[in-house]
Amino acid sequence: MIIEYARVSTTDQNLDALTAAGAERLFSERVSEAKAELPELDKMLDQRRDGDVVVVTKYDRLARSLRDLLDIVEAIKERGAGFRSLAEDIDMTMPAGELIFRVFASIAHFERRRVAVSSRLFQYH
| Length of the chain (residues) | 125
Calculate mean pLDDT across residues 18-32. Answer: 77
Decide which of 93 and 6 is more confident.
93
pTM for the model: 0.75
Q: Is residue 12 pLDDT above 70, yes or no?
A: no
Q: Is residue 121 pLDDT above 80, yes or no?
A: no
* Interatomic CA distance for residues 71 and 33, integer angstroms: 20
Q: Pairing between strand 2-8 and 25-30?
A: parallel
Q: Domain total for the chain? A: 1
| Residues assigned a catalytic role | 9
**Burial zone of 54 (CB within 10 Å; 0-12 exposed, 13-18 middle, 19+ buried):** buried
Q: Which structural domain range is residue 107 located in?
A: 2-124
* Interatomic CA distance for residues 48 and 122, integer angstroms: 46
Residues 6+ apart with CB under 8 A from 32: 9, 10
Using a pLDDT cut of 70, give the percent of the chain over it.
82
Q: What is the CATH number of the domain that holds 90?
A: 3.40.50.1390
- The 10s digit of each residue's pLDDT in 41-92 is 999 999 888 999 999 988 888 887 888 888 899 999 998 999 999 888 899 9
